[in-house]
Structure 1
Amino acid sequence: MHFEYNDKTKDLIGRLDAFIEEHIAPLDAAYHAWTKANLWQVHPAMEGLKEKARAAGLWNLFLPEEYGDYSPGLTNLEYAPLAERMGRHLWASEVFNCSAPDTGNMEVLAKYGSPAQRAKWLLPLLAGEIRSAFLMTEPEVASSDATNIATRIERSGEDYIINGRKWWSTGAMHPDCAFFIVMGKTNPDAERHQQQSMIIVPAGTAGVEIVRPLDAFHTYDSPFGHAEISLTNVRVPAANIILGEGRGFEIAQGRLGPGRIHHCMRLIGAAQRSLELMCQRVDSRTAFGRNLSKFSSIRQEIAKSACEIEQARLLTLSAADRIDRHGIKAAKELVAMIKIVAPTMAQTVIDRAIQVHGGMGVSSVDLPLANFWAYARSIRLADGPDEVHMFQLGRNVVAKGGVV
């Protein structure tokens, strides 16, 4: 692969950086304070910022294929550095209609949805008029093995009836959440990876109950949030099934590969900003009669952080390039590598930055570091825990005799 971005990407990086510097960075601290005080409400500036982003051509940047007037049609490699820039501010992705889980749900509907499903659900998502949620993880089973998922999706005439309990349903608390994509079993007797299906459930359907919001490290991630949801005799039309019965794992693989690229690049952006804050801090503080930047231990922490960020960045770009050139199946080892490497790297770098800032570092009032750390630690579980990726990667590397 080439290690220099193409002209299209460079232009978008410049425009995105300028937009973030002008509109997002100055609002960062106030945004977080407002959302903590006003749970499950959209910040008053959000819609205006979205309009500005769309007018600037910085909209739906994640979607790797052309989709009418809604997407610039970037490859994963072209989008990756843009996701990194958005990751410097945890709420920035929504401004550009590039936030999870909507990105994954849009990709699912664009790739696998029927014409009617795309018209009803995808187009409003692409326009930023609604939000969505993805319901996969369950509290009663070890969902790191997705074959354990027990929610039942049973055919009843022209409908499906859904019963189950989900949690860590990201996006479900957002006031504009209009529908869920639910994964569950349509045929428990089928082959192991053909038991599951995905189906669209409108948010207001009878039998859908938001049991409670879930916090991660005392952070609710308002306004989109994470919810525990009960599904009791939820009836939806059979036309809401995506791609067909037994295709859930196939859809999940197509959804999660690019999504992991997005998460990893956002984490690299958070780590990069943390390193920059660390450098500013040590260059301006004195302890024991010396500037902090003069201490050898501090310089070593900064040097290691710079190395680790660049290693993770290049590995993630390599995974993105492999997906673009050869598809998600050919890139599965590299995708597993970045999912193992990037969150742990970010957590480590952010922790060093927190340490350098002392008491200020552990508070989310003046700095983003505490929120960054919570995000990095959470992503070590989201989209598959570290252990699953290492287990599968190790198995595949052995099978290939050490070749990736």
Structure 2
Amino acid sequence: MLIVVRALYVTAVLAVSVSTALAYDHLATAQPVPTPEMPRPGYLQSVTDPAFGTPFTRVTDPGGQVLPTASCSPDYCTHRYATSQAWNADQSLLLIVNGCQEACSLFLDGRNFAPVFQRIVPNECEWHPTDAALMICADRNEIYTWAPRTDTKNVVYAPNGYRGFQFGPYKGNPSKDGKRLVVRATNAEGTMVAFAYDIHARMKYPDIDLTKLTGTNSYCSISPSGEYIFCFQEMPDETNESYIFTVRGAQIQHWTGNHRPGHGDMTIDPDGSDVYVGISKADPDKYHVIKRRLRDGKVTDLAPYGEGQHASIRSINRPGWVFLTYTGTYAEITEHPDWAPFYQEVVALRIDGSGEIRRIVQTRAAKHDYWSEAHASPSPDGSQVIWSSNWGQAGDPVADYVAELRWP
């Protein structure tokens, strides 16, 4: 009897694998999928996800000496964050920063994931979205471009009267064309401000006084079109609110709902509108995945109540999709049939409201701490997704894995 039950289970899993690996699915018909047992892959070992048929590779080795002068922390060795671009523009390099010891950043081959070189980067840099050789950086009172392979720096803007330049911090991205970014800084009067800067035109836009906003600033970022500034504020009661400004500093929106949305990313809709896609933590769509238009705040509900943790649209050259990281457990999800049927899974969701999805891979990321969160982030063309996992064992080392996608 046990053999028959196991055979039926394997058949069901294989059926899901075929349908999801080669075609799209839909939220309305998706069901929770159990997690088959699978040994943790070895470093640089390529395997196939038994639930969804997706090939993937373990790309980091916590505690390992990956280069003669570079080693990884025994606790974790991972990419920066869900909304930080992990690959460069042509996907020839993949950046690993968390857990890389000696304050270094580790650069892997973007296709076979072998370590290539390390660099000391004492400040925050993000990949240039169109120039594969460059990163865009902010530090002290400078905006500059940096070529990691040659370790060469080109200062773009270094004004007097400002200090403590930060790219975001941590959650900032340049505009889709790489021309504009937002910098957070302290001005000559000691006031925290944010301003947009156009690298191409060598033009600074007006300061936004962040001290006049409710709460404390968490970060500011430019929208993909380069026309809006999005600022995220932390409230004393541990909720969050958002402000949207034009690039010239005029406030056009103030979203008071907690994380409505948050833990997300920005993209451009087919109609040309800048939108933020993320997880709401406020009524009437609490714990739904929503899309919100920057210019007027219009909300579109994309996915029902669920365990969505992070949303990433770093697939900047494959518009129309958001890559969602879900947490939770199989038991929890099956007890709530009205929830989104995903747990410890990376799912690509079309953002047009149609409910079309692609189920990519099971993360096997057991809840433990910040570093054990999966933080799935796609490559610019959406053909690869990187995520972090302790392989289902809370407190175990956290490594990075890369799944490969075929788009029908």
Relative to the length of structure 2, the TM-score reads 0.23
Structure with the larger strand share: 2
Structure with the larger helix share: 1
Relative to the length of structure 1, the TM-score reads 0.24
